[in-house]
Amino acid sequence: MVDLLLGLQWGDEGKGKIVDVLTKEYDIIARFQGGPNAGHTLEFDGIKHVLHTIPSGIFHKNAINIVGNGVVIDPVIFKKELDNLEKFNIDIESKLFISRKAHLILPTHRLLDAASEASKGKAKIGSTLKGIGPTYMDKTGRNGMRVGDLEFDDWKTKYRALADKHEAMIDFYNVDIQYNLAELEAEFCEGVETLKKLTFIDSEEYIFKAQAEGKKILAEGAQGSLLDIDFGTYPFVTSSNTTAAGACTGLGVAPNKVKRVLGIFKAYTTRVGSGPFPTELFDEDGAKMAKIGNEFGATTGRPRRCGWLDLVALKYAVQINGVTELIMMKADVLSGFDTIKICTAYNYKGEEIEHLPYNIEEEHVSPVFAEMKGWSKDLTGLSKVEELPAALNDYITFLEEQLHVPIKIVSVGPDRLQTIHR
């Protein structure tokens, strides 16, 4: 059976931390979509790690980590990730397998991302500029290069044809993008050599056999449901299916083999990049969340926009994904607020609605808030559920009643140990 762990908001919910916490219960951790636009942070023994492509189970001896077919891999970033791990003595070669069917991000994909964003001006997506969109465009356009191509001697011919086409496309955008392709290509080839040292697998077959042997598999989502290409706040989304179905196509797992769907959310909301965000705060409360929560993107370092919990959007995500249990992150960041606000409905075209409409741009939607009493207790040193303050328990109970799904974990700090199971 396969369990899924999915971000329910606009990403950065704390997926990396929780996958690391849960890995001891699993035999395999597998990424199924996205690429190095993801930044998954783990903290233990006083060290902070940020992973982009490598699954967050890599620090545990018991688990195999798989980069599935639905992921897009940039060999340059991948090599950097591996270099960063070198000092931790992880037996990478026997613990990390790569799907032959995963697509490769070429240097020109990154340039195309930059050109596309530059041409959009104010309407830009706020992409991480890692080449994600252009790589998935080549995948669905049936032009892409895959990891499996690297096993053939002529991969550079294929590479050249694609890169040349990309250069012509960059010219078409007619924007000022400076680059030295020879340098970028040298770096790319170095990355490819590193990637080739790892074992390439037919991951769908590997995962099928693992299931037959009764192995436990956790699929690690990247981004969040509101960044899903189909169900997110389009066009301000990423280019993959971040929702539950993405795990089936991104790993080759049959839908009836999915068991638990763990949905992870912050006790408030953040978003990095452009796009609508109905509960966004521009006041002291927002600044306080950003400061205490240290809300800066793990991949780009950009400040994350902050706001109160959007229950309308969260319900939508729970529904789309079929979430069976919830994990609430960063409860500690809300300590010290006299009042906690929760968006329970939207004012939309003069009506109060409780579902996500087609367009949640500011001019269409304004949030309706419920208020609850806050708590002042510092949560970061807590480890037992009995120690949680009453007002936080009320907040949790309210959310469980609204979402009809139990909150099984409450996270009270970035460290592996700052995790309370309920």
Residues tagged active-site: 12, 40
Q: Which residue has the tokens 């510092």?
A: 378
* Residue 320 touches which of ligand GDP, Mg ion, ligand IMO, none (Cβ within 5-8 Å per kind): none
* 113 belongs to the binding site for ligand GDP (CB under 6 A): no
Nearer to ligand GDP, 144 or 286 (CB): 286
The alpha carbon dihedral of 386, 389, 394, 396 has a sign of negative
Among the residue ranges 40-48, 89-97, 205-213, 337-345, the one whose residues contact ligand GDP (CB under 6 A): 40-48
- What are the contacts of 43-46 at 24+ separation with CB within 8 A? 43/17, 43/414, 43/415, 43/416, 44/20, 44/415, 44/416, 44/417
Min CB(39)–ligand GDP separation in Å: 5
Tell me whether the omega of the peptide bond preceding residue 134 falls within 30 degrees of 0, making it cis. no
Task: Tell me the CA distances in angstroms from 79 to 55, 122, 189, 194, 231, one per residue in order.
Answer: 14, 33, 11, 6, 32
Phi, psi of 332 (to 5 degrees): -60, -30
Min CB(360)–ligand IMO separation in Å: 15
Among the residue ranges 83-91, 344-352, 401-409, 411-419, the one whose residues contact ligand GDP (CB under 6 A): 411-419
* 329 belongs to the binding site for ligand GDP (CB under 6 A): yes
Min CB(332)–ligand GDP separation in Å: 5
* Residue 413 touches which of ligand IMO, ligand GDP, Mg ion, none (Cβ within 5-8 Å per kind): ligand GDP
* 55 belongs to the binding site for Mg ion (CB under 5 A): no
Nearer to Mg ion, 9 or 116 (CB): 9
Number of residues that bind Mg ion (CB under 5 A): 3
Structure tokens at 185: 């290509």
d(CA 327, CA 19): 11
Binding mask 284-303 for Mg ion (x = CB under 5 A): --------------x-----
* 222 belongs to the binding site for ligand IMO (CB under 6 A): yes
Among candidate residues 71, 33, 39, the one with its CA nearest the CA of residue 52 = 39
Min CB(219)–ligand IMO separation in Å: 13
**Beta-sheet strands, E only, within 269-418:** 269-271, 305-307, 309-310, 325-329, 339-348, 351-353, 365-373, 407-411
With a CB cutoff of 8 Å and minimum separation 6, the contacts of 160 are: none
d(CA 212, CA 142): 32
d(CA 163, CA 259): 41
Tell me, what DSSP letter sits at residue 268? S
d(CA 336, CA 358): 35
Q: What ranges in 121-233 are assigned the alpha helix state H? A: 132-140, 155-173, 181-195, 203-212
Binding mask 1-30 for Mg ion (x = CB under 5 A): -----------x------------------
The residue sitting closest to ligand GDP, measured at its beta carbon, is 41
* Residue 127 touches which of Mg ion, ligand GDP, ligand IMO, none (Cβ within 5-8 Å per kind): ligand IMO
Min CB(53)–ligand IMO separation in Å: 11
Min CB(127)–ligand IMO separation in Å: 3
Among the residue ranges 195-203, 244-252, 317-325, 330-338, the one whose residues contact ligand GDP (CB under 6 A): 330-338
H or E stretch at 90: none
- Point out which residues bind ligand IMO (CB under 6 A): 7, 10-12, 37-40, 125-128, 130, 132-133, 222-224, 227, 238, 272-273, 298
- Point out which residues bind ligand GDP (CB under 6 A): 7, 11-17, 38-41, 43, 293, 298, 329-330, 332-333, 411-414
